[in-house]
Amino acid sequence: MTLGLTFLVSAAARSQTPQQPVQIEGRLDAIIARTTGVEAGLGVSVPSGIYVRSGLVAGIGVGRHGVEGRTDLITRFSLDPFRQSRWAPYGGAGVSGRYRSRLDGGSRAYLLVVLGVEGPLPFGQTSGIVPAFEVGLGGGVRLAVVLRRGITARR
């Protein structure tokens, strides 16, 4: 009986805790360097705290001398984690691996820093796709347009 009561109380406590689901994103990045590339990417992030989300992005695209790709491991810090403003700034840092032909400089690892702004959920909805725009440094100057899964009352 005690064990059953423990599971019941535990389940009730979990139902009161807001869940922060995995956040999926699609993105289009331009990496402007000695050899410029344009890549489409797919990312996933998970909460690392109230203000912080950590994630992984994989991208593939074209550079000056053919196909290129990248993987980014990044942590974002949101200045408005509870969606109190329509648009909210964030900053991020991490590491990036760029995979290119030797003619484009070959494969290398880079430190990555980004500044971005994330937009609102669609009017009147508690979920949906939200836009974001980023500028950063990591293997060149990075410009990105991002579409993320919006999370109710969270960024």
Per-residue pLDDT of 56-76, as tens digits, reads 999 999 998 899 999 999 999
What pLDDT was estimated at residue 124? 75
Over residues 16-35, the mean pLDDT reads 84
| pLDDT of res. 4 | 53
> What confidence score (pLDDT) does residue 127 get?
79
User: In whole angstroms, what is the distance from residue 44 CA to residue 70 CA?
Assistant: 14
Residue-wise pLDDT tens digits, 74-131: 999 999 999 889 999 999 999 999 998 888 788 999 999 999 999 998 887 777 899 9
* DSSP secondary structure of 77-137: EES-TT--SSSEEEEEEEEEEEE--GGGT--EEEEEEEEEEE-PPPTT-SSEEEEEEEEEE
Domains of the chain (ranges; CATH) run 21-150 (2.40.160.20)
Which helix (H) or strand (E) covers residue 16, if one does? helix 2-16
- Of 29 and 64, the structure prediction assigns the larger pLDDT to 29
Q: Mean pLDDT across the stretch 38-67?
A: 95
The single-letter DSSP state of residue 14 is: H
**Res. 55: pLDDT tops 50:** yes
Q: What percent of the chain has pLDDT over 90?
A: 64
The amino acid present at 51, given as its one-letter code, is: Y
Return mean pLDDT, the chain: 87
